[in-house]
Structure 1
Amino acid sequence: MNPQTRVLRLFLLLFVSLTLLAGCGDDEPSPAPVASTGQLPDFTGLVKQVSPAVVNISAAPAEASEEGGEGEDGPLEGWLRRFFEDGGPGAPGEQSPLPPGGSPHASLGSGFIISDDGYILTNRHVVANAGQIVVKLNDRRQLVAEVIGQDSYSDLAVLKVDASDLPTVKVGDPDKLEVGSWVVAIGSPFGFETSVTAGIVSAKQRSLASDQYVPFLQTDVAINPGNSGGPLFNLAGDVVGINSQIYSQTGGYQGVSFAIPIDIAMDVAKQLRNSGSVTRGWLGVQIQDVDRELAESFRLKRPEGALVARVMPDSPAQAAGLQAGDVILSFNDQPVDSAASLPPLVGTVAPGESASVTVLRDGERETIEVTIEKLPKDLSAATAPEPAEKPAAQPYGLTLESLDTAARRELGLDQGGVRVTDVAEGAGADAGLEPGDVVLAVGSRHVEDVASLRKALDEADGAVAVLVLRDDRRLYLAMRPKNN
């Protein structure tokens, strides 16, 4: 074999070896963590399409409203540099109380045009207690706006400017919006008009303590002071929400933003345009969430529903026969997954209409027809301070005393009730009972006195729901008496 042939064979052997090594391992490559690695969405066309209908809103102080006029250098330019100095977390653009002798600031926010004849939707806190309100259009025009109506429960307001043939937004369907979907916000954060930010829908049906009639959309879109009242768009260019609040410990964006679903906002806007106010349905119950312990005590497979802690006197719920201890599982065939999901469902029912409420009572499901009434303006229920009485020591780590007739009258109770005067280590403390709590029922059994409470706890099998009155509010606590 000549040297050239030998070199050729060695080369071929090396080539085959390298080829075999390259083919070792899995037959197919590992799948990617996402379905596609395509390009990110291009928002340029969307922004061009929808931005003409987005406006900047400035609420000038009343005493300064007579100065200046229309045009780019109107009376609000000075205030644009000074707004939100007193702002706090939770509600971007909200005007804070002025210190004595302090100079007023403009309350800056955003909005969008919902009809070509000049109706504009924004947040109520943007224009609340404002003097002259000026709307700056995308074409740089500045128009004085009139407040047609505002609603504190939803934090929405409708404005009107004297103009015609204005560009409008297209209303979308937030129910079709999936968690993880791309969304785009346009507004005036810190006065920077027509600023665009994008992100995804983080969650739906979020409940915030200050807005129980709004099931918020949660997003990670960057929202800051001045974005309040601005639109949230889907990729089709349809408005799906109104950017309203942020969750923040600094007053600025920290990755959690909330928007009012547009279907709820448009219903409010329609009522404000027609009558200047909003009418909501009222059921008349005080409710709480069902946690794991309470679910076990009510023999539920999982925590769900809204637990009725109190039925308001002279309410639709009382007239229909709803009771404390009922777990509301559905309302008009809509599932009630938590206490927060019930008020928005009730609020959409017109006063005088009938609604079907499915409850779990004593382990059995029951459907009750309720005639909904108008939400009262004042739902507060006053109770008097609790008088002292000689206590008696009892098991379960609780020191208890029965209520006399005078104490019941002062607390607004018709019968029964046992006050907790002290809590030591034991099942009561584990359940979360506190001194001053008044025990009203154990499960579905009303508590008349200390003896009946002790008997009900002694006979309890596993976790049991204890209804207590605490600081004018009724709530259920899950207790395991056998822990002692």
Structure 2
Amino acid sequence: MSFADVPLQLGDPVLVLGRMSETVDYVPGVVLDHIAAVVDTPRTAYCLAGGLKMGFLSGPVLNVRGEVVGVTGIELSEEEGGGLYSRSGVPMVFQAALLAPYIASPPRSGAGEPKASGEEAWLGVFTQPLKPEFAAYWGLPEAGGLIVSTVVPDSPAAQAGIQPGDIIKSFDGKPQRATQDREVLNFSRLVRDTGPGKTVRIELLRNGQPLTLEATLTTRPQSAQDAEEYEENVLGLTVRELTRDIRIALNIAEDVQGVIVRRVASGSPAQAAKMRPGVIIMAVGDYTVTNLEEYRQAIEKLRETRPAEVPLFARVGSATGFFRVRPRW
């Protein structure tokens, strides 16, 4: 596969290659999109029509001839001209010509950035920028800051008393003036690099009134990418533990315990029972499953007893029910 420096036209269909699944895992995927806008100055830029999941950002973009015409992204730096034409938060196609110098001479890994040392810190909030229209709606004197949209339960933010709707104006003595979506990443990086175990001062606005809180950062929880998994050939499933990011992405409450299906083997008993990735298994037969080890133990019990049919109590979306799986002994 090679890059081709060919123009795109308004309405042209494109394929975006990426890696993202229902279980917040990185597996190959394809999205069909089209060019929604073509901007000619100060240089050609293309806007995609649809939104893209995280796993498809920086993915290659193919035209109808199968040529790679660029990669996706949200924004270029102002030094590269991005701030002159692109709309914050709109997926863009960065042309092959722009990438050619980097392909010919790849930058060293981590060049220009400090090396990561130790574990990453975690606050436990999801935020969005305080744009001028939001500031005007709430009657605030100026835009800039971070609106807290979600507070993760039992996180450092929750324990500190941060609430949805709060506006973070300063973190650890560093003013927060985000007005564009891309600037939220700077806050995420700031929190991550502060280090776990540190107590930070957070200045915010609540209902327009200033408030100062202190939060002690913890280590970032294990992600789906790092989670342990277990593959078995009795039912034909590969499952993994429920990590915090999966719970947030799929809106799974903390009281829901089990393991999540990552893969279903082709031609397996589980596939015959119409199981699919993303299903949360909470019980295998008579055995309650709250974690990966309990699932392993339940499968070993099945090997010993060799039942003709195994009812799996599971959750699919907001519904619960049974899959009846017939192992082939």
TM-score normalized by structure 1? 0.27
Larger radius of gyration: 1
